[in-house]
Chain A
Amino acid sequence: SAVISQKPSRDICQRGTSLTIQCQVDSQVTMMFWYRQQPGQSLTLIATANQGSEATYESGFVIDKFPISRPNLTFSTLTVSNMSPEDSSIYLCSATDLVYEQFFGPGTRLTVL
C-alpha cells in the first residue's frame, strides 16, 4: 500500500495570498488527484495531476486558481491562488497504486481570513 504525506497539515492565510500544498507518495503510483472537502461536506475532485503535462481539471475548477504540478511519479503540488474565505477547506491528495487501489493523504486544513 502507498503512504501519502502532505505539507503543510494546516495553515491560516490572509485573503489575496496563495498557498502551495505538497503531496509526496512513498511508492510508485499511477494516478494522482487533488480533492477539496468543504466543511461538513463530501469530497469534490479538483483535478487529475498528470506527470509532465498540464493537469486535467473538473468542471468548476481552473488552472489559474488551482495550478498543479507533478514533476515526477511520486510528487505533486497544488496551489490555491488569490485566496478568499470561500477557499477555506480541507485539500486532499490521493493516488492510485499499480493495482488501482486509491489512497488518500491526511489532508491540509486551510483557513482563509
Chain B
Amino acid sequence: AQSVTQLDSHVSVSEGTPVLLRCNYSSSYSPSLFWYVQHPNKGLQLLLKYTSAATLVKGINGFEAEFKKSETSFHLTKPSAHMSDAAEYFCVVTGGNDMRFGAGTRLTVKP
C-alpha cells in the first residue's frame, strides 16, 4: 500500500522568495514520486519525477525536489517564486500500476 501526505494545504510566499512545498510518502515498494502542477481551469502538468536514479531531481520552471529515503520525504523547492507559479501542486507516489495523489498544496504568490 502507498500513500502521500502533503503537510501544508496552503503556502503563501512573496514574489522572489524561496518556495518549499512539503511531501511525505509511504510505500511498500521502491516508490516513484512525482510533482504535478494544476493551474486554475487547466490540466495537470508534470513538474518532475523521481524513479530511483539521482536523488536530487530537477524539473521544469526552476523547480527541484530531493528524495530522502531516511525521512520518507520528497519536498519541492524553487529558489525564487514567480507570480506565474501560483497554482495547486500535487505530490504523487506510485509503486505498481496506480498513482496516489496527495491532498494538494495551494501556492499563493504575493507581489
Interface residues of chain A, those whose CB is within 8 Å of chain B, are: 31, 33, 35, 41-45, 48, 92, 94, 96, 100-107
Contact = CB atoms under 8 A, between A and B. Distances in A.
Which applies to chain A's interface (DSSP): helix, strand, loop or mixed? strand
B43 interface: yes
A100 B36 CA distance: 15
Given A45-B99, A106-B43, 19 more contacts: A35-B101, A41-B103, A41-B104, A42-B90, A42-B103, A43-B44, A45-B98, A45-B100, A48-B98, A92-B44, A94-B99, A96-B97, A101-B46, A101-B49, A102-B94, A104-B43, A104-B44, A105-B43, A107-B43
A33 B100 CA distance: 12
A43 B101 contact: yes
Nearest to A92: B44
A42 B102 contact: yes
Contacts of A42: 90, 101-104
Interface residues of B, number: 18
Interface of B: 32, 34, 36, 42-44, 46, 49, 90, 94, 97-104
Contacts of A107: 43
Nearest to B90: A42
B97 A43 contact: no
Contacts of A35: 101
B17 to A, nearest CB: 26
Contacts of A103: 46
Nearest to A47: B98
A48 B97 contact: yes
A29 to B, nearest CB: 12
A44 B34 CA distance: 16
Contacts of A106: 42-43
A102 B99 CA distance: 9
6 contacts: A31-B97, A33-B99, A42-B101, A43-B44, A45-B100, A101-B46
The interface centre, meaning the residue of B36, B44, B49, B103 with most chain A CB atoms within 10 A of its CB, is B44
